[in-house]
Structure 1
Amino acid sequence: MKNKELLKIVGYFVLICLSFYIATRSYFEDKKIQTICWIVIGSRNVYDFVRRIKNSKKEEYERNSDNHAE
């Protein structure tokens, strides 16, 4: 795994944690619309994060299978 990829993973993880932290804080301050918005943002970040991990594993698998085929 390259350092750049690791930095992207850490960045996404921080974004996810931050968005759910803000959503929780907004919930306890009775700001329902803001809470819903931050939950949607956090969920989208989780979706992108999982999609990136799946794509990177798929690319790695294809790269390894190409090396074994030769």
Structure 2
Amino acid sequence: MDCGNRHSGIGGGWQREASLRARLQELAANRVQSAVNELSGRITHEQLADADLGRHIIGKHPHCS
């Protein structure tokens, strides 16, 4: 049994796991940022639509001339 090779193999496994964990954290952070950007875009679009609708409603009120 060659303990040196087995030990280095385990060490390589830990390095690989640490690398994968770092990559997963990076991907998770990117997903969160993408979701925030998408949500922010939706809110802005909805606010613009609401403001536009508000202008139409105000324009149609008989007492708002």
| TM-score normalised per structure 1 | 0.57
| Structure 2: segments with no counterpart, 5+ residues | 1-11, 56-65
The structural deviation recorded for 1:69 is 0.6
Tell me the residue number matched to 1:17: none
Q: Which has the larger radius of gyration?
A: 2
Aligned length: 42
Amino acid at match of 1:57: R
Structure 1 counterpart of 2:32: 47
Question: Superposition RMSD on alpha carbons, in Å?
Answer: 1.3
Task: Report the TM-score, using the length of structure 2 for normalisation.
Answer: 0.61
Instruction: Extract structure 1 runs of 4+ deviating beyond 4 A.
Output: none
User: Per-residue deviation at 1:67?
Assistant: 0.5
